[in-house]
Structure 1
Amino acid sequence: MDKVLNCFTKRPEAVASLICFPWAGGGSIHYARWGKILTSVEVFAVKLPGRESRAKEQFFQSMEQIIDEVVSALLPVLKEKPFALFGHSFGAMTSFAVADALKRIHNLEPIHLFLSGASAPYCQMRIQAPTRSHLSDEEFLQWMTRIGGTPPELLANPEVMRLFLPALKADLHVVENYRCDRPVRPLFSCPVTCFDGKQDVPHDLKAWKDISSGEFTVQMLPGAHFYLKEAANEELILDYITKCLETAEMDYL
């Protein structure tokens, strides 16, 4: 489990577990440190192959590989207390895919889904979006510069980019080839919250409403694609998540 899930701070008394999924090319550290900030929630950050302590492992090539590994690692954790999922961009897609598998195969449902910076996987906006994983490194860096969120000094460092780009392209390959049908009926009954940056490219957030019969909320925050890295936005997000999970825990009991 420790190979797949990074938990900086164990909190057996926590009201809920929050499982966080990285953006494309990302690691677990950004989310794992949330576990030191959130005192009533136990945070587990998903760590995918090809990065951090798993740097020597081969990247996953499909969403099915991610689902199989993450679900297997999560099952012992999810039986301990109520759980919620958070994912940004690529992480929103993987968190949804994992939640879907947990419900279909194990009849386990989150008490809240927090989805950030991504259109629903079955909407036309996402299906028609241009692919990026095939771009040359130069074209890829130009695109990364446009969307923002990566420090310019890193983009200008060839050695750092040599290490970082393969993971990013591998994750984009996975999500670009991930397909699922629009639900004909809600898959979940939990609340769903979508976060997004006001200056990011438009996303079809409303399409996520189809996945659940629970309350649906959209939170737009200042910033571009990586708006959640900004300290003020991160504080708002964590406060919101805490309130949602503490309230849900009372309903759960």
Structure 2
Amino acid sequence: MSPVETRSRTAAWFPGPAPEDGPAPARLVCIPYAGGTASLFREWQRRLGPEVEVVSVQLPGRGLRLREQPYTASAALVPDLASALVEAGLCRDYALFGHSMGALLAYEVACELRERGEQEPFHLYVSGSRAPHLYGTREDHLLSDEELRALVSDLGGLERDRAVDTAYFERRLPVLRADLRVCETYRWRPRRPLRCPMTAFSASRDVLASAPQTEAWRDYTSGSFLRRHFQGDHFFLNDGPTRERLLRSLSDELAGAGADLPARAAGSQSAHARREAPWTS
């Protein structure tokens, strides 16, 4: 593959525009939930301000990548996404955010990059997701179309206009099934914890990621861990007051992150580092 083809393929993963004023001090790479697109994070750049560059990930099978086959297994998706991040030069001064499936991918990509000798993210944000070792207990990708639509509706992922929702859902159904298969065939393997701080976001009515299941992320970092609990359902980041609280929390945590990055890159440990997980090697 030529350098031009490589750049073009890599750019497809990150469809957002480059910052108008050049690179920001810190970068937040955002990975959507199952069936989601990069447009989920369209307004985040404006909300998080010029100190943070928001990079939205577009997975195959949606948006301008509609003609590409979606992945059905994390074993193929994770290394390809990690390679795209490396090729795009996005693995310095970066944090990772993921919601639901996106959280699982963010964790696995962070581990993959570490194994390649790349810099860990300076922060990992996991949202609406139980800890990785708790995956593998559902088979929602095998549900009928109507059953799957009812599930997404019950989780808060559809609006009230049934005609609009039905058309939207039917267009997304193939990629949703593929993404659910990525999650439901995933099997965690023990590795030493990440060193970066981690923040986990949970919601009061999220039946896919309860507060205790979200709290279980604590053992996946030897750095500081914070869990923030909101009112809402599984899709609490989509709109409304809870999304505003989420963005405000991210803004507060990322504020001034650029000034701290040199010390973090030099391997400094958080003053609030609490423990090493029992499977540390």
Query: Letter of the aligned partner of 1:77 in structure 2?
Result: G
What residue number does 1:246 align with? 255
In structure 1, how many angstroms separate the alpha carbons of the residues matched to 2:257 and 2:52?
A: 12
What residue number does 1:162 align with? 170
What residue number does 1:200 align with? 206
**Percent of aligned pairs with the same residue?**
34
Deviation at 1:197, TM superposition (A): 1.2
What residue number does 1:78 align with? 90
TM-score in terms of structure 2 length = 0.82
Structure 1 residues 57, 251: closer, same or farther in 2, change over 3 A? same
Q: Does 1:181 align with 2:189?
A: yes
> 1:92-144 CA distances to partner (integer Å, 9 max, x unpaired)?
11111111101111332001000001111113xx34x3210011101111111
Equivalent of residue 111 in structure 2, options 81, 100, 105: 100
TM-score in terms of structure 1 length = 0.90
In structure 1, how many angstroms separate the alpha carbons of the residues matched to 2:46 and 2:76?
A: 30
What residue number does 1:20 align with? 30
Matched residue count: 247
The 8 Å contact of residues 5 and 44 in structure 1, kept in 2 or not, is answered as yes
Structure 1 residues 43, 192: closer, same or farther in 2, change over 3 A? same
Query: Letter of the aligned partner of 1:200 in structure 2?
Result: D
Query: Structure 1: which 4+ aligned runs deviate by more than 6 Å?
Result: none
> 1:34-79 CA distances to partner (integer Å, 9 max, x unpaired)?
1233221001111011111011111112112222221122113325
Deviation at 1:26, TM superposition (A): 0.5
Q: Does 1:55 align with 2:66?
A: yes
What residue number does 2:268 align with? none
Q: Does 1:229 align with 2:241?
A: no
The 8 Å contact of residues 60 and 66 in structure 2, kept in 1 or not, is answered as yes
Query: Letter of the aligned partner of 1:38 in structure 2?
Result: L
What residue number does 1:216 align with? 225
What residue number does 2:16 align with? 7
Query: Letter of the aligned partner of 1:21 in structure 2?
Result: I
Structure 1 residues 211, 73: closer, same or farther in 2, change over 3 A? same
5+ residue gaps in structure 2? 1-9, 263-281
In structure 2, how many angstroms separate the alpha carbons of the residues matched to 1:238 and 1:145?
A: 24
Q: Does 1:111 align with 2:122?
A: yes
Q: 2:171 aligns to what SS in structure 1?
A: helix
Deviation at 1:13, TM superposition (A): 4.2
What residue number does 1:91 align with? 102
In structure 2, how many angstroms separate the alpha carbons of the residues matched to 1:101 and 1:162?
A: 33
Q: Does 1:69 align with 2:80?
A: yes
What residue number does 1:131 align with? 139
